[in-house]
Amino acid sequence: MKTLPLIALALSLSLSPAFASAFWPGKVVNVASNDALMIRKWPGAQSKVIDAYPNGSPVSLTGRCKNITTNKSFQIDGPESSAKKYLKMKQPNVWCQVMTADGLGWARGKYLMAQ
């Protein structure tokens, strides 16, 4: 049977980490106690707010961040320490993608800490 090897190949590709959907744990940091971090539809302060999280709240990060001034994206899902990731995320104009109960959104990187 020629289809059996094709089925095995398809199964092995579907189980491959390159095709896995994973989120990185994070938390909201540096937000005033009487305020909340706004999660927006797109990276930018004028974008629609889709959710809000108070300081210390857990969040799920996709690993994707973007500097909206230079329009350059970068990943923070590598093996480096949380401190090194945060140094990248807290740069001016950096927004990072998060998963909310309503879907994907964006928040200022300086208010997110990858764990």
Give me the CATH number covering residue 45: 2.30.30.40
52-78 pLDDT, tens digit per residue, is 999 999 999 999 999 999 999 988 877
Answer yes or no: is 2 within a domain.
Answer: no
Answer yes or no: is 54 within a domain.
Answer: yes
Q: Average pLDDT of the chain? A: 83
Q: What is the pTM of this model?
A: 0.77
Q: Which of 48, 89, 41 is nearest to 65 (CA)?
A: 89
Answer yes or no: is 71 within a domain.
Answer: yes
Answer yes or no: is 73 within a domain.
Answer: yes
Answer yes or no: is 62 within a domain.
Answer: yes
Q: Name the domain count of the chain.
A: 1
What residues have CB less than 8 Å from 27, skipping those under 6 apart?
A: 56, 57, 58, 59, 112, 113, 115
Is residue 89 a contact partner of residue 96, using CB atoms and an 8 Å limit? yes
Note down the domain range covering 52: 21-114
Helix H or strand E segment including 108: strand 103-108
68-104 pLDDT, tens digit per residue, is 999 999 888 778 888 888 888 899 999 999 998 889 9
